[in-house]
């Protein structure tokens, strides 16, 4: 028993989850520092060094994963591609969280016609395929990073709205809310001091779970040519470019695909662990 207690104190986070957090932080840190670690011009190319073999195929090769069809180092491109994908996905997630939380608060507190309208808009959003929304916005606004962020925000707010709305329905009749209202607290003060504080945990879990989906969405849009455009790069762009060389240089598509899988797996597993720790219903069940 004493050994178990010491173990719990020493490892408040399971070793597996801690490893995932550290590796995810390392990947994100390296990606964000790409301009410092490997300053390059994304539009530059050297056709004399195109499609060089990687080190595991040619030990004499100076390029760990070889070069692409324009002679650019694949590892360096992966750093910049990961930086773009994570930046766009995280920015879109923040905007989606803000929009969904605001609408969820309005629906939960106002009720009546406001709740009906917001719930209807949520159902309409969920009935429209995400890719179709991406195609429409890419045609109207152009295939740019801003368009991708807008698509992520528009397609992602509905899940946050539903979560916040359901949480507020459970909280608005609580005694501490009624006591605060009886003491003359304004609605805005109740929202910021009581409601948002109490729903912060499920919001964090939801944001973590949704981030992996947003990374996949950004990669999908870029793969289809609806997101980042060359000479810019993202993980989806690299997969799209590398698929033309699958028979001879398969690593050009497999390497960015592996990064996407690893990022999504890390975020999903950490999100599951956070849900188990922060969800009071799961705590009581355990």
Per DSSP, the residues of the chain read -HHHHHHHHH-SS-HHHHHHHHHHHHHHHHHHTHHHHS---TT---GGGTTPPPTTT-TT-S-TT-B-TTS-BHHHHHHHHHHHHHHHHHHHHHHHHHHHHHHHHHHHHH-HHHHHHHHHHHHHHHHS-HHHHHHHHHHHH-SSHHHHHHHHHHHHHHHHHHHHHHHHHHHTTSHHHHHHHHTT--HHHHIIIIIHHHTHHHHHHHHHHHHHHHHHHHHHHHHTTSS--TTS--HHHHHHHHGGGTTT-THHHHHHHHHHHHHHHHHHHHHHHHHHHH-HHHHHH-
According to the model, what pLDDT value does residue 230 have? 85
Asked if 138 contacts 147 with a C-beta cutoff of 8 angstroms, the reply is yes
The predicted pLDDT at position 184 comes to 66
Domains of the chain: 82-285 (1.10.3720.10)
Express each pLDDT in 139-156 by its tens digit. 888 888 999 999 999 999
Q: What predicted TM-score, i.e. pTM, was given to this entire model?
A: 0.86
Residue 235: pLDDT band by 50, 70, 90 thresholds? very high
From residue 193, alpha-carbon distances to 55, 202, 204, 229 in Å are: 57, 16, 17, 44
Q: What is the mean pLDDT of residues 107-130?
A: 88
Q: CA dihedral in degrees (95, 100, 103, 104; nearest 10)?
A: -150
First to last CA, the chain: 19
Which one has a higher pLDDT value, 16 or 281?
Answer: 16
Q: Convert the pLDDT of each residue in 160-213 to its tens digit.
A: 999 888 888 877 767 767 676 677 666 667 777 777 777 888 888 888 889 999
């Amino acid at each position: 028993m004493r050994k178990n207690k010491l173990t719990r104190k020493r490892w408040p986070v399971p070793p597996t989850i801690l490893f995932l957090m550290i590796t995810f932080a390392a990947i994100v840190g390296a990606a964000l520092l790409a301009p410092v670690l490997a300053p390059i011009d994304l539009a530059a190319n050297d056709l004399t060094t195109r499609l060089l073999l990687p080190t595991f195929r040619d030990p004499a090769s100076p390029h760990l994963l070889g070069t692409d069809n324009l002679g650019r180092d694949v590892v360096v491109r992966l750093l910049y591609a990961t930086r773009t994908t994570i930046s766009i996905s995280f920015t879109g997630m923040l905007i989606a969280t803000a929009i969904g939380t605001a609408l969820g608060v309005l629906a939960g507190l106002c009720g009546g016609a406001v709740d009906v309208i917001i719930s209807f808009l949520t159902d309409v959003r969920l009935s429209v395929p995400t890719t179709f929304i991406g195609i429409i916005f890419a045609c109207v606004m152009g295939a740019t990073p801003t368009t991708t962020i807008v698509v992520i925000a528009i397609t992602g707010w509905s899940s946050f709205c539903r979560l916040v709305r359901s949480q507020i329905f459970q909280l608005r009749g609580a005694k501490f809310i009624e006591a605060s209202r009886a003491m003359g607290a304004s609605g805005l003060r109740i929202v910021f001091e009581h409601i948002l504080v109490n729903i912060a945990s499920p919001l964090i879990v939801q944001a973590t779970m949704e981030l992996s989906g947003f990374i996949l969405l950004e990669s999908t849009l870029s793969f289809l040519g609806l997101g980042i455009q060359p000479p810019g790069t993202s993980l989806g762009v690299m997969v799209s470019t590398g698929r033309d060389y699958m028979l001879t240089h398969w690593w050009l598509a497999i390497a960015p695909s592996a990064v996407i899988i690893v990022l999504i797996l890390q975020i999903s597993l950490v999100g599951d662990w956070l849900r188990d720790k922060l969800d009071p219903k799961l705590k009581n069940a355990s």
